Copies of this chain bind each other. A is one copy, B any other.
Amino acid sequence: MRATTIHAAGDIRVEEVPDPTITSPTDAIVKVTASCICGSDLWPYRGFNDITPGDTIGHECIGVVEEVGSEVSDFKAGDFVIVPFDHCDNTCTHCRVGAHAGCVNLGFTTSGQAEYALVTQANGSMVKTDGVPDRSLLPSLLALSDVMATGWHAAVSAGVTKGSTAVVVGDGAVGLCGVLAAAQLGAERVIAMSRHEPRQAIARQFGATHIVAERDKEGADRIKEITDGVGADAVLECVGTDQSIKTAFAVARPGATVGFVGVPHDVELPVRRMFQKNIGLAGGMAPVRKYLPELLDLTLSGAIDPGLVFDLTLPLDQSPEGYRAMDERRAIKVLLEP
């Protein structure tokens, strides 16, 4: 099949690789209808993560079931499915308490940006739609495989409640979905930290009531102003750098929780501030399957339209250009069509 591969930092290719095959009875193969590039794919692209040259890349996709293993009872060839980037059995002791990201049979989509993807725990992970959805819905459904579920996890972990004030640190696709999640969960004030006009516009569409373009100390001061010196009840940390984490804790009021979903890189948590001000930290890798049924309902009913985060659609063959566009921040999030 044709698949996006990574060979070194900055070296993304589309080439022929072997088709995935069923090797476990819990596996399924999905023919990819749409996939996309994630902010976290930029970490290896930028040389911050180890790379095995020639590995396929991409963990977000939706598509049509091609083949299932013998134990996959809930799906059959032809079903249209959303594939959580993190696969889980949805039955183990951790899944049962909603900690699907800690599933004892955890797996990941590893060839999302390709013609076919392998799902290692198909029964537990995938969620299907009634028939093949309208093409206009595909971007929003694709967003449920990771970015929207991750933004939702940030908001839930941060404890966003009706009438609360939420701050979203990060204006990437996850941050924007965090804005959407916070608004949907009833936050009265949703403050998006963003310096980029096109991203600010989407944040507003998603329900941001305030935009703060300043960063670091200036940004925190601005948020203090907006909140009459109180700070945020809930903070969504959607980047994962030391700078963004520090900003998140700086704008959190005493007793607040920072919900973090940006994969942390060289982060040192401000443990003294956390202790003195009782500011908690929760979240992590999103338990996508946990939220998927609810998010699917919200998407199909039109209550949320997370697909707006895709501002560039390319054929799979142009994956390398997609990476460049996201790396250079010319695109928020790139959708790929095999």
Q: A260-B275, A281-B281 are in contact. Are A254 and B101 (CB under 8 A)?
A: yes
**Contact string against B for A residues 143-179, beta-carbon threshold 8 Å, 1 for contact and 0 otherwise:** 0000000000000010000000000000000000000
Kindly provide the distance from the CB of A5 to the nearest chain B CB, expressed in whole angstroms: 25
A283 interface residue, CB < 8 Å from B?
A: yes
A70 interface residue, CB < 8 Å from B?
A: no
- Contact call A102/B255, Cβ cutoff below 8 A: yes
A271 interface residue, CB < 8 Å from B?
A: yes
A279 interface residue, CB < 8 Å from B?
A: yes
**Contact string against B for A residues 74-91, beta-carbon threshold 8 Å, 1 for contact and 0 otherwise:** 000000000000000000
**Contact string against B for A residues 87-106, beta-carbon threshold 8 Å, 1 for contact and 0 otherwise:** 00000011001110110000
Q: Give the contacting residue for A99; candidates B98, B275, B278; CB below 8 A.
A: B278
**Contact string against B for A residues 233-275, beta-carbon threshold 8 Å, 1 for contact and 0 otherwise:** 1000000000000000000011111001001100111011011
- Contact call A281/B274, Cβ cutoff below 8 A: yes
- Contact call B101/A277, Cβ cutoff below 8 A: yes
- Roughly how many angstroms separate A287 CA and B233 CA in the complex, as a whole number? 17
- Contact call A276/B271, Cβ cutoff below 8 A: no
Task: Say what secondary structure dominates the interface of chain A.
Answer: mixed
Interface residues of A in 5-31 (CB under 8 A from B): none
Q: Give the contacting residue for A285; candidates B276, B281, B282; CB below 8 A.
A: B276
- Contact call A275/B263, Cβ cutoff below 8 A: yes
5 closest A-B pairs by CB:
A102-B254, A99-B255, A280-B282, A278-B284, A99-B254
Which residues of B sit under 8 angstroms from A285, Cβ to Cβ?
275-276, 278
**Contact string against B for A residues 164-199, beta-carbon threshold 8 Å, 1 for contact and 0 otherwise:** 000000000000000000000000000000000000
Residue of B nearest to A256 (CB): B99
Which residues of B sit under 8 angstroms from A257, Cβ to Cβ?
280, 282
A300 interface residue, CB < 8 Å from B?
A: no
A230 interface residue, CB < 8 Å from B?
A: yes
Q: Give the contacting residue for A283; candidates B97, B269, B278; CB below 8 A.
A: B278
Residue of B nearest to A101 (CB): B278
Could you write out 13 A-B pairs with CB less than 8 Å apart?
A: A97-B255, A99-B254, A99-B256, A101-B254, A157-B280, A267-B271, A269-B269, A274-B281, A278-B282, A278-B285, A280-B281, A280-B282, A281-B282
Kindly provide the distance from the CB of A152 to the nearest chain B CB, expressed in whole angstroms: 14
- Contact call B278/A287, Cβ cutoff below 8 A: yes
6 more A-B residue pairs beyond the given contacts A93-B230, A264-B275, A281-B282, with a C-beta to C-beta distance below 8 A:
A94-B230, A99-B277, A101-B254, A278-B285, A278-B287, A279-B284
- Contact call B268/A277, Cβ cutoff below 8 A: no
Which residues of B sit under 8 angstroms from A284, Cβ to Cβ?
274-279
Residue of B nearest to A282 (CB): B280
- Roughly how many angstroms separate A269 CA and B272 CA in the complex, as a whole number? 11
Q: A102-B278, A157-B280 are in contact. Are A264 and B255 (CB under 8 A)?
A: no
